[in-house]
């Protein structure tokens, strides 16, 4: 749960945070009894708690398919990320990974912590995979094959141009969007979305993560690969790591704003994709991460702290997004509000200001034309409270924090 000080500064966070805490506990207890499914859902909670929460609302059949899809791709990603594996060993594994999910005898130990556990127990994921419907299996196999080939290509290729950047993000995230669309279609709950829109859903989130994680990635030991395209960063510094040097602060922020502006090009496709969804559980599953994406970009834009530490949405705001994203009006409203926040941070002297403002105005125009802004929840504007309400809430929070602390010690 968020810190007491943060909650007192944002009193409207309290109830959503409490609901989120309860939802996490419920999710952790709803582990299927079958050993292989129990392992899969337990592992899902460990490798991505936020993702495990958003899939809980899906129906059982589709939820199982999405869970396995995520774990198979997470295993594939573990192979790609492990810098201790020689390239001549890694590349064939990536290319053939879609076959290994059918092979009971195949095993490859790599990764660390929970990812090593996932790889060591991959046979349990394989058992669950083989219980899925044929159409789900075919979708997962197809995307795994295409992603593995793309990852293998970029093991030996640097991200030089913006086209390279888009291609890499397609392989590692755009294909996830395509795969999810295939799973939604296989469930008979949605029509098959156009590939260009599905791809944009993945690219928007991947680019947001690449921007947000600059410092963590560049400081990683052993050194991880970086995916900021040279075509963008070389306009500002000689080496990518120079962006974190204090003397380059102005150029670093300009480069950051350039990267954010590039990510914004996918927003209109994302809104179009989500507006076509019919099933509300699938809609919320897709919408919550996308709202988190635009919110994160709003926090990162023009913010030198991206190169100094961790920049992300506060936990209470995340809880609000999860709790209050229920309708398409909420999505258009969130994108409108966060784009307004981002727009207010644009410096007219920034070299990309005109392009940034143009993209933000296009997003806001799409949101207005939906005709739904008047019906939205707001995640950004805070309600006002009088002193009596604040005092009462302080007492209540103190009791709850004491109760939760006592429970943790038992």
Catalytic residue annotation = 168, 212, 225, 285
What ranges in 301-352 are assigned the alpha helix state H?
315-324, 328-344
Non-local (6+) Cβ contacts of 394 within 8 A are: 8
Which of 288, 296, 272 has the alpha carbon at shortest distance from 213? 296
Is the N-terminal amide bond of 239 cis, ω within 30° of 0?
no
Is the N-terminal amide bond of 222 cis, ω within 30° of 0?
yes
At 250, list the tokens. 């102005």
How many CB atoms within 10 Å of residue 3? 12
Contact 21, 400 (CB under 8 A): no
Contact 350, 254 (CB under 8 A): yes
Contact 257, 228 (CB under 8 A): no
Sign of CA dihedral 81, 87, 89, 91: positive
At 319, list the tokens. 């809880």
Non-local (6+) Cβ contacts of 290 within 8 A are: 201, 204, 205, 270, 274, 331
How many CB atoms within 10 Å of residue 125? 23
Which pairs count as long-range contacts for 212-221, CB under 8 Å and 24+ apart, including other chains? 212/296, 212/300, 212/306, 212/311, 212/312, 214/243, 214/244, 214/306, 214/307, 215/244, 215/306, 215/307, 215/308, 215/309, 215/310, 216/310, 218/244
């Amino acid at each position: 749960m968020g810190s007491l000080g943060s909650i007192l500064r944002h009193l409207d966070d309290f109830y959503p945070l409490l609901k989120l805490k309860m939802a996490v506990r419920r999710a952790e207890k709803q582990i299927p009894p079958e050993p292989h499914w129990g392992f899969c859902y337990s592992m899902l909670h460990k490798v991505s708690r936020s993702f495990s929460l958003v899939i809980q609302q899906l129906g059982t059949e589709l939820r199982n398919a999405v869970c396995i899809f995520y774990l198979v791709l997470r295993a594939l990603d573990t192979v790609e990320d492990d810098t201790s594996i020689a390239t001549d060993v890694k590349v064939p594994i990536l290319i053939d990974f879609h076959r290994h999910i059918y092979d009971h005898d195949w095993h490859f130990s790599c990764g660390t912590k929970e990812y090593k556990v996932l790889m060591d127990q991959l046979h349990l994921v394989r058992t669950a995979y083989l219980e899925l419907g044929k159409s789900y299996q075919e979708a997962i196999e197809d995307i795994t094959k295409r992603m593995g080939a793309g990852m293998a290509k970029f093991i030996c290729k640097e991200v030089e141009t913006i086209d390279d950047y888009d291609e890499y993000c397609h392989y590692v995230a755009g294909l996830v969007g395509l795969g999810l669309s295939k799973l939604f279609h296989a469930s008979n709950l949605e029509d098959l979305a156009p590939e260009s829109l599905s791809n944009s859903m993945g690219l928007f989130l991947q680019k947001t993560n690449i921007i947000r994680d600059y410092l963590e990635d560049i400081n990683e030991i052993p050194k991880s690969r970086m995916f900021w395209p040279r075509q963008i960063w070389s306009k500002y510094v000689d080496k990518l790591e120079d962006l974190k040097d204090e003397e380059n602060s102005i150029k670093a922020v300009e480069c950051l704003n350039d990267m954010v502006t590039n990510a914004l090009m996918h927003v209109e496709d994302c809104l179009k994709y989500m507006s076509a969804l019919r099933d509300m559980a699938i809609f919320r599953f897709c919408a919550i991460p996308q709202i988190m994406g635009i919110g994160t970009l709003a926090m990162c834009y023009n913010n030198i702290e991206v190169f100094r530490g961790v920049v992300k949405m506060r936990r209470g705001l995340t809880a609000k997004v999860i709790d209050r994203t229920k309708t398409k009006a909420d999505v258009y409203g969130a994108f409108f509000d966060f784009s307004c926040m981002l727009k207010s941070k644009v410096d007219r002297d920034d070299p990309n200001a005109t392009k940034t403002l143009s993209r933000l105005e296009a997003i806001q125009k799409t949101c207005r034309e939906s005709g739904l802004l008047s019906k939205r929840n707001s995640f950004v504007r805070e309600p006002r409270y009088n002193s009596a309400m604040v005092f009462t809430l302080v007492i209540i929070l103190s009791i709850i924090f004491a109760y939760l602390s006592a429970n943790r010690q038992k």
